[in-house]
Amino acid sequence: MKKVAVGMFGFGRTGKLVVNEFIKDPIFDVKWVVRRTKNEHHKYASRLLGHEKDEGEIFSRNDIGEDFYKKNPVDIIVDFAGTHAVRSYKAAADEGIKLISAVSKYDTDDYEMLMALKRKTAVLYSPNITLGINFLLIASQLLRKIAPHADIEIIEEHFREKEEISGTAKKIAKALSLDETKKINSIRVGGVVGRHEIVFGLPNQTIRLVHESINRSAFGQGAIFAAKWLIGKPKGLYSMEQIISRIFAEANYVY
């Protein structure tokens, strides 16, 4: 079976874990990794991550010229870098390279640029790309339909340094038609990676839906799931939530 060639943007705390997950998966061949600086320039991400093979040559964003993607072709780009990285891979869409972005928050101009690329190639955008959180989103919407009069509260827990309200919690509130200023309860403690809980209060019972990220490697596993799904898709805009929704719709339940 032919391997899927992947290019990665981002080699920070989360990016390294994501790259490592792709390197470990036999379906993928990480061709290169782009980071903002020239640190470890032209070294191999695989060696830096403890593997005994050369995979994922390190480039800086300044290396991305007009002919970069012709000289370094890949099937899919996976982006865990900052908001402006989209400007560096805009030309990749012209080559038909598929795009996966897990950037948590875009500036308006960069977001519009990403959305425009769906006219040229397949783009999957999910700020929280873990399987669990997207399953939680769909399951909570289903429960909301079953119990429309339930009292609902959202609790989000993250590491002490995270200042803003979780974007995922805001997305959950929007999906459930809740006022995010009143229904999201934030907790900041220690080194918690991320935990989201949705509490449904009903007469005589309480239902809790919980997702907890134990390790940032979960983002890599979600990206791998997304990449395997996206590789055969035509140009357009997709999301992890959409993938999970389709699986829900197509499932044959046995009672």
Assess whether 206 and 118 both reside in one domain.
no
The predicted-structure confidence for 7-54, as pLDDT tens digits, reads as follows 999 999 999 999 999 999 999 999 999 998 898 999 999 999 999 999
Q: How far apart are CA 41 and CA 56, in angstroms?
A: 11
Give the CA angle between residues 174, 180, 181 to the nearest 5°: 160
Q: How far apart are CA 101 and CA 239, in angstroms?
A: 10
One-letter amino acid at 103 equals V
pLDDT of residue 40: 93
Tell me phi and psi for residue 47, to 5 degrees: -65, -40
> Domain containing 96: what range?
4-125+217-240
Q: Any idea what the CATH number is for the domain that residue 40 is in?
A: 3.40.50.720
Could you tell me the pLDDT band of residue 128, with boundaries at 50, 70 and 90? confident
Assess whether 36 and 159 both reside in one domain.
no
Angle between helices 217-230 and 131-146 (to 10 degrees): 80
Residue 139 near residue 190 (C-beta atoms within 8 A): no
The predicted-structure confidence for 131-160, as pLDDT tens digits, reads as follows 999 999 999 999 999 999 999 999 999 999
pLDDT of residue 252: 63
Q: How many CB atoms lie within 10 A of CB 144?
A: 17
Write out the H or E segment, with its range, that includes residue 31: strand 28-35
Q: What one-character DSSP code corresponds to residue 151?
A: E
Q: How far apart are CA 183 and CA 160, in angstroms?
A: 21
Assess whether 115 and 191 both reside in one domain.
no
Total domains present in the chain: 2
Catalytic residues: 158, 162
Name residue, tokens 């994501």.
18
Kindly write down the DSSP assignment for every residue of 197-246, as one continuous string.
EEEEEETTEEEEEEEEESSTHHHHHHHHHHHHHHTTPPSEEE-HHHHHHH
In a domain, 245, yes or no: no
- When pLDDT is averaged across residues 205-226 and rounded to a whole number, the result is 94
In a domain, 120, yes or no: yes
Average pLDDT, the chain: 93
Could you tell me the pLDDT band of residue 199, with boundaries at 50, 70 and 90? very high
Assess whether 24 and 119 both reside in one domain.
yes
In a domain, 247, yes or no: no
In a domain, 67, yes or no: yes
Q: Is the pLDDT of residue 253 over 70?
A: no
Q: How far apart are CA 104 and CA 82, in angstroms?
A: 9
One-letter amino acid at 51 equals H
Assess whether 33 and 45 both reside in one domain.
yes
In a domain, 72, yes or no: yes
Q: What one-character DSSP code corresponds to residue 83?
A: G
- When pLDDT is averaged across residues 42-67 and rounded to a whole number, the result is 95
Q: Any idea what the CATH number is for the domain that residue 188 is in?
A: 3.30.360.10
Between 65 and 198, residue with greater pLDDT: 198
Name residue, tokens 């032919």.
2
pLDDT of residue 249: 82
- When pLDDT is averaged across residues 195-205 and rounded to a whole number, the result is 97
